[in-house]
């Protein structure tokens, strides 16, 4: 496998840029809300939020829900808790949420 740059079509690149921004924002949210002594680099995107991964509990998830609603301008309900499996699954949830209009595009 070479490390040469790939040619990425424009549409895919725009999606990657948005996904990366939401991912970085959510990781920072996790670190600040839970006062973790780590950096965003320490969190792999598929790291489980519970168990062997970041070891969060249900109280921590409530903290994150508040942060997600504030940062991304979306509503999170009890029915959405299945999304809280990893950073990537939360980002999937945010990007597919009908109320999500982009970073900073909310009141």
Partner 1 sequence: MTNIFQPYDGWELAYEAIRQSVGLLHISECWESIDIKGPDTHGFLERAATNTVPHKKIGYTAFCDEDGHLLALAWVVMHAKDAATLYVDKGLGGPLATHLQQVATTHQRDVSVATGCPTGLAIVGPQGLRVIQKVAGDDMIGLPYLGWVNQAIPNVGPSLICRCGLTGEYDYRVLVSPDQMAALAHHIEQVSGPIPTLSPAILSLLHIEMKSVSPAHCPPGMTAVNAGLHGVIGFNKPDFCGKQVLTDQKEGDRYVRMIMLQAKQDHPLVTVDSPDVMFDHQPAGTCVGGGYSPTIGRTVLMAYVHPEVAWPGLSFSIQSNGERIELEAVSSPVFITQSVGIARQHGA
Using CB under 8 A, count the residues that bind partner 1: 38
User: Which segment (8-16, 27-35, 61-69, 97-105) binds partner 1 by CB under 8 A?
Assistant: 8-16
Of 21, 88, 97, 103, which one interacts with partner 1 (CB under 8 A)? 88
Under rule CB under 8 A, residue 3 binds partner 1? yes
Task: Answer for the pair 45, 24: CB distance below 8 angstroms, yes or no.
Answer: no
Under rule CB under 8 A, residue 82 binds partner 1? yes
**Distance in angstroms (rounded) separating the CA atoms of residues 63 and 17:** 26
**Distance in angstroms (rounded) separating the CA atoms of residues 73 and 70:** 6
């Amino acid at each position: 496998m070479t490390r040469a740059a790939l040619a990425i079509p424009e549409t895919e690149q725009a999606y990657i840029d948005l996904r990366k921004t939401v991912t970085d924002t959510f990781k920072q949210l996790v670190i600040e809300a839970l006062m973790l002594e780590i950096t965003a680099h320490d969190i792999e995107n598929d790291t489980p939020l519970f168990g062997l991964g970041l070891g969060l509990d249900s109280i921590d998830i409530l903290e994150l829900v508040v942060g997600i609603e504030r940062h991304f301008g979306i509503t999170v309900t009890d029915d959405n808790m299945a999304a809280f499996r990893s950073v990537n699954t939360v980002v999937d949830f945010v990007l597919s949420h009908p109320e999500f209009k982009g970073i900073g595009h909310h009141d």
